[in-house]
Structure 1
Amino acid sequence: MIKQTEKQEESSKLVQTEEMDVSFYISGVEILNNVGCGICVCSSQEKVLFANERFSAFLNGEMDGKTVKKLLSQALEGGEEDSSGELYIEEDDRWFDVHRKKIRWMDQSAAELYTVYDITKTKQYQQRIEKQANNDFLTGLYNRMRCEKDLEEQISLIREKGGEGALLYMDLDDFKHINGGLGHQYGDVLLQGISRSLKRISGIQSSCYRMGGDEFIIIVTDTRVSMLNRILGDICGIFEKPWFLKGADYYCTMSMGIVRFPTDGDTVQELIKKADLALFEAKATGKNRYVFYTAEEEGSAFKRLDLEKNMRNAIVNACNEFEVYYQPIVDVSKPDHPCMGAEALIRWNCESLGFISPTEFIPLAEYLGLINPIGDHVLLQSCRRCKHWNDSGHPEYKVNVNLSVVQLLRNDMAERVKNVLQRTGLNPGNLTLEVTESLAINDMTRMKRILGQIKELGVWVALDDFGTGYSSLNHIREMPIDVIKIDRCFIEDLGNDEFSDAFVRIVCELASVIGMKVCVEGMEHERQYEILKKMQIHMIQGFYFDKPMKVEDFEKKYL
């Protein structure tokens, strides 16, 4: 009886122990299912011995031991030792931190314990931070910091392995006209469109950078430099067509400076500096082109710095170094072809550098944003001088003053003209403001508004350089202008070129129909004069009658 009781007690203890083991196991599984990572144990025979729910969810229920080990091993280094690493599953776009440790299973057999953490949110946050640090927010292109880093890497690579690369420094021509005329939001749209087009060019998809504003850099690596000519052609092709902005087509061109490395330099700073010098040369020689860096640009850089320094000093000193010359305009519609006024032309007689050509300093003044004070100075001096002519027995004399595109973008331009007329007392009808055709056609709506405000003052408006832009003859009817100035390039070949003859004749006939006057500039020879006499020309200026001259010489001869 006692033995039977002892056996029952032992049996009861065994059951209790087994129940406790099961309960402990269940509790352990529940704990492991609720930890913040995936846990998996695989045998040496590639069999999954245990996996918690989180691990199963990570792998979408895939529990084949061979597949699991093969997948996790992609993130691990080494075969036998404990290791860790990161795993990216592309189809799910998820990142995992994987750790492996050698252990003994419950039966003392060799096994591997894997702990897996989902770090997708952390990686995505890191990528966002990295993108913010390396990418331009507006265009999505890489930024200046990333450009300098990548360029340094390319220089080092070529230094070690040989080869050649190229750096292209691009700047949009007159981009401020788009921003000022249409608004910054449309300027942003244009920048985004150009950026997308650049990224579609084969060979530079991942090496385009926005340096800020409307400046871009493109790195052509050593493996792509053989494609340079084709790449340049593709880039130029982007700007051959208009951009559709605010319901209309607008043309935007670019200028570019190009350096080769290591031929032209082997440091980031040196290459960017020399590319910028070549870019400025492209701007100064007419824009809408690219220029390769040469050693000559190095010398011109110092000259440019001298020009800039002296120009700023001259402006600070009330523009006293800038002189206004006057080229007479004759009225050939009247007997004896009397002088009817003059065009005011800016000249710079620099105290330290001497006489500077307008073709040299005006592009620099526009590039530096200094043309406004210079233009204001010319307008004021010209109106004062014309008032003097009118008061000295020539009330019919007019003065023509060129307005730069930068001046015309100022919202208060009409008000500025009005103030000058009030200060000088000049009759508004004796002032003619000349605007370039290319700007007027490129932003017709804005120009019609600004020029309309100017004409309301009683001031005349002339369309300068007609025939050299993207225009059609129909545009002259849309604009509030009084005078069409035919560019000298059509006058040079009069009598020798049928197209030039026909163009001048058609413009004269059309102007007569719509009530406008025609002024021809650049006439130098008797042959040209004889041909123009037969057309409906009102005004002519050119060396045939007289060259631009100082005010003293003009007044001595024509007053």
Structure 2
Amino acid sequence: MKDEVMTNIVSLLESDETFAEIVEKILREAERYLCTSHAAVLQVSTDGKLINTVISYAGEGELPLKINNIPKSKFLIGSDELKCCATGRCSEEEKYALEAFGVRSSVVVPIFINDSCAMYFAVFDVRNELCFDKVRMQFIRDVSRIIQSIAQKKVTNNSLLSSYEVLRDILSSIGSGIMVFDKHGDEIYFENDVARKTDEVRRTIQKCVKERVIRQDNAKKPENDEETETERPIEHYDPESGLWFEIKFSDLTWIDGSAVIVCTAVDITQKKKNQQKIEYQANNDFLTGLYNRMKCELDLRNIIRDAVCSNQKGALMFIDLDDFKHINDGLGHQYGDLLLQQIAAGLQGIPGLRGHCYRMGGDEFVVIVKPEQFIGISKIIKNVVALFNRPWYLRGTEYFCTMSMGVATFPDNSDDVHEIVKMADMAMYDAKRSGKNRYNFYDGSKNHNTVQRLDIENNMRQAVASQIHEFVVFYQPVVDTVTKKCMSCEALVRWDSKALGFMGPGDFIPLAEYLGLITDIGDYVLEEACRQCKIWNDKGYKDFHINVNLSVVQLLQQNVVENVGRILSRTGVNPRNIVLEITESFAINDMERVLKIISGLKALGPRIALDDFGTGYSSLNYIKQLPLNIIKVDKTFIDDIVEDEYAQAFVKLIVDLSKTIGTQIVVEGIEDIEQYNLLKKIGVNYIQGYYFGKPVPANQFEFEYLGKVLNDNK
């Protein structure tokens, strides 16, 4: 029976009868198959608030249902799907609504015309609680779609305009504007309420129809001289209202037989905004507003292609922040996010870079230098370096965060997107490994080996996970400039990898910091140095002390003071014989926090040394505030000190300062007797460097240096 009924209903699609006549027949056929008491097509009022019966059918012996001016909010309808209700299987609110209509169950399906819900197809039963199976539910959906197709056809066909009066109301209740023009677009035959009452809709339709007529008049006629009845919708922006509309045209025959243009305008402003939002989210980094990795690869592909075609060059700069993790871990992610936003704004502010800066993720940025800017790449690089050599202001406080950068050029190095990014990344890592705060150009002749880097990373992770026994501590003597006696030493880590062999700190420390493994390694070095110091103290060298460098990552751990205290207690060393070295870069950031940490460490007993002094941005005011025992002058001031009067003056200034504030001076990097004699003359207390000895294992250090007066030929 279902097939017979559906065949009869489908056959009505080609009927020339009025909409009301066709739908009444459909309702009769549907009721015959479903065996319900009532079926109806309901209309939404013009203001979208009320539901009224348009066409209804009642089974034999049944009275018509009165569904007129029922508030839409209280009617049993869903948003865009079939809604099924029965008194025994629904909420109290739905049950109340059913009883108000005098029915025990209902099934309601929305009917859309021009993407707007204009009507509903509904079946009711006053006797029974409907419990339809999937087949009957699908039948109801199919019938609603057929009614929808007929209604849509009538809307776009002028026969609807001369049919049942209520269908005129349907056209006016539709959310889109509809206007009918003569074939020249001059005379208006019909316009619905939306077009008549909304200036921007009426203005848009008239403008688009005029443009279409002009376009068709100027276009060359097809050979068969036949025009296409329908065409693809166009999108139109109305600048006066700021709204977007989707415009559809149809060429039809009007009631009097004349050719007309039917134009429909649907407001798609929200759709466009959603599209723009989705596109923005897909291409932009939510934190900084810069383009993201996906957009970078897309833009880079197009820029490289154009550069190859025009025989020009461009470059890609890969930037990674130095020690960004310190700010994130030590100050909190809100400070880290603020810094990333400032860096993004700073990069965008460099001439020639706006719109070509990307955040690849984390603390990594990429800048594309297009061919038209490539001639000035030296200036661009200089501006980027200058950007990171100044302090960043985070909520009223100065912080320093430098960067390491790698530069690869296209198409010289490669014309492949992924290869160029990888080459710039490798050049950046070389810059980081060379000491950070610098940049490198990719150089293929250096035979960069990514596989080797991955081997180092994997083996380092395994070494740290397996109790860090592969890492060994060497000791370098610190010598009294007057007596030449070895009074102390500095503990320095080396990696004796079973898989990769012996490596110095320059080969793995930058990567350990990059991977976040330096804390475990640093804690291990501190504990080993404390144990060794106690052994030598117990052998009679009671005043001998060992300097241990604490990485910035260690210092920024929330429990750094407690952790150091546990190591001192566990090893039993005299805390006074341990000197904790902190780097100048740590000391100049967030003075309040730094003072709290240093004071906490000093309260445990160790002495505090400021390492690498002179390489950063410290002022004498910083030195005055910090509770220091020792200042270690970086070797960069010593390399040319014999000839460099500025370096001599700088060291002399620090010596004088140390006497004023009561600290000792250690100068690193002494390699020859001229340097030694000059520093001794200036008044430096202690020196450290290859002139007296390189870092060696503990047993060798004990034999050659421990408590001994060293000769000049050491």
Pairwise TM-score range, normalised by the shorter structure? 0.7 to 0.9
Distance 1:316 1:178, change over 3 A: closer
1:267-290 superposed Cα distances (whole Å, 9 cap, x missing partner): 333232222111111211222233
In structure 1, what is the Cα distance between the partners aligned to 2:184 and 2:215? Answer: 20
Distance 1:196 1:412, change over 3 A: same
Give the aligned partner of residue 151 of structure 1: 300
Give the aligned partner of residue 40 of structure 1: 179
Given the alignment of the two structures, is residue 537 of structure 1 paired with residue 684 of structure 2, yes or no? yes
In structure 2, what is the Cα distance between the partners aligned to 1:266 and 1:114? Answer: 49
Distance 1:490 1:108, change over 3 A: same
Asked whether the equivalents of residues 390 and 400 of structure 2 are also in contact (C-alpha less than 8 Å), the reply is yes
In structure 2, what is the Cα distance between the partners aligned to 1:75 and 1:419? Answer: 84
Give the aligned partner of residue 384 of structure 1: 531
Give the CA deviation at 1:242: 1.9
Give the aligned partner of residue 123 of structure 1: 272
CA root-mean-square deviation: 3.0
Alignment of 1:353-392 (within 5 A): 353-392=500-539
Give the CA deviation at 1:318: 3.0
Give the aligned partner of residue 293 of structure 1: 442
In structure 1, what is the Cα distance between the partners aligned to 2:539 and 2:275? Answer: 77
Give the aligned partner of residue 317 of structure 2: 168
Give the aligned partner of residue 326 of structure 1: 475
In structure 2, what is the Cα distance between the partners aligned to 1:527 and 1:237? Answer: 36
Give the CA deviation at 1:68: 5.1
Distance 1:39 1:202, change over 3 A: farther
Give the aligned partner of residue 589 of structure 2: 442
Give the aligned partner of residue 268 of structure 1: 417
Distance 1:404 1:101, change over 3 A: same
Query: Please, which moves more after superposition, 534-543 or 383-392?
Result: 534-543
Contiguous gaps of at least 5 residues in structure 2: 1-160, 220-226, 708-714
SS at match of 1:502: helix
Asked whether the equivalents of residues 473 and 528 of structure 2 are also in contact (C-alpha less than 8 Å), the reply is yes
SS at match of 1:474: helix
In structure 2, what is the Cα distance between the partners aligned to 1:75 and 1:436? Answer: 73
Matching residue within 196, 203, 209 for 1:69: 209
1:524-554 superposed Cα distances (whole Å, 9 cap, x missing partner): 3333333333444332223333332221122
SS at match of 1:244: strand
Give the aligned partner of residue 53 of structure 1: 193
Give the CA deviation at 1:194: 1.8
Give the aligned partner of residue 16 of structure 1: none
Give the aligned partner of residue 560 of structure 2: 413
Q: TM-score, normalised by structure 2?
A: 0.69
Give the CA deviation at 1:246: 2.5
SS at match of 2:616: coil
Give the CA deviation at 1:201: 4.0
Distance 1:155 1:439, change over 3 A: same
In structure 2, what is the Cα distance between the partners aligned to 1:149 and 1:64? Answer: 35
Give the CA deviation at 1:193: 1.8
Give the CA deviation at 1:170: 1.6
Distance 1:544 1:210, change over 3 A: closer
Asked whether the equivalents of residues 179 and 262 of structure 2 are also in contact (C-alpha less than 8 Å), the reply is yes
SS at match of 2:588: helix
1:7-59 superposed Cα distances (whole Å, 9 cap, x missing partner): xxxxxxxxxxxxxxx99898776554332210122224432413333224554
Give the CA deviation at 1:157: 5.2
Given the alignment of the two structures, is residue 134 of structure 1 paired with residue 283 of structure 2, yes or no? yes
1:309-355 superposed Cα distances (whole Å, 9 cap, x missing partner): 3333433443333222212223346xx34322211122233334333
In structure 2, what is the Cα distance between the partners aligned to 1:435 and 1:120? Answer: 59
In structure 1, what is the Cα distance between the partners aligned to 2:461 and 2:653? Answer: 45
Matching residue within 257, 260, 269 for 1:111: 260
In structure 1, what is the Cα distance between the partners aligned to 2:196 and 2:310? Answer: 48
Structure 1 residue runs of 4+, over 6 Å off? 22-28, 72-79
In structure 1, what is the Cα distance between the partners aligned to 2:445 and 2:462? Answer: 26
Give the aligned partner of residue 600 of structure 2: 453
Given the alignment of the two structures, is residue 259 of structure 1 paired with residue 408 of structure 2, yes or no? yes
Give the aligned partner of residue 92 of structure 2: none
User: 1:306 is aligned with what amino acid?
Assistant: D
Asked whether the equivalents of residues 75 and 86 of structure 1 are also in contact (C-alpha less than 8 Å), the reply is no
In structure 2, what is the Cα distance between the partners aligned to 1:331 and 1:129? Answer: 68
Given the alignment of the two structures, is residue 249 of structure 1 paired with residue 401 of structure 2, yes or no? no
In structure 2, what is the Cα distance between the partners aligned to 1:75 and 1:281? Answer: 61
Give the CA deviation at 1:301: 2.6
Distance 1:232 1:488, change over 3 A: closer
User: 2:516 is aligned with what amino acid?
Assistant: G
Given the alignment of the two structures, is residue 238 of structure 1 paired with residue 403 of structure 2, yes or no? no
Asked whether the equivalents of residues 201 and 265 of structure 2 are also in contact (C-alpha less than 8 Å), the reply is no
Distance 1:279 1:389, change over 3 A: same
Give the aligned partner of residue 327 of structure 2: 178
SS at match of 1:299: coil
Name the structure, 1 or 2, with higher relative contact order (CA <8 Å, separation 6+): 1
Given the alignment of the two structures, is residue 506 of structure 1 paired with residue 653 of structure 2, yes or no? yes
Contiguous gaps of at least 5 residues in structure 1: 1-21
Given the alignment of the two structures, is residue 350 of structure 1 paired with residue 497 of structure 2, yes or no? yes
Distance 1:74 1:477, change over 3 A: farther
User: 2:630 is aligned with what amino acid?
Assistant: V
Distance 1:552 1:167, change over 3 A: same
Query: Please, which moves more after superposition, 285-294 or 154-163?
Result: 154-163
1:141-181 superposed Cα distances (whole Å, 9 cap, x missing partner): 22223333333444555566764443322211211122123
Give the CA deviation at 1:376: 1.6
Give the aligned partner of residue 47 of structure 2: none
Identity within the alignment, %: 47
In structure 1, what is the Cα distance between the partners aligned to 2:596 and 2:272? Answer: 53
Give the CA deviation at 1:369: 1.8
Alignment of 1:85-104 (within 5 A): 85-104=234-253
Q: Which has the larger radius of gyration?
A: 2
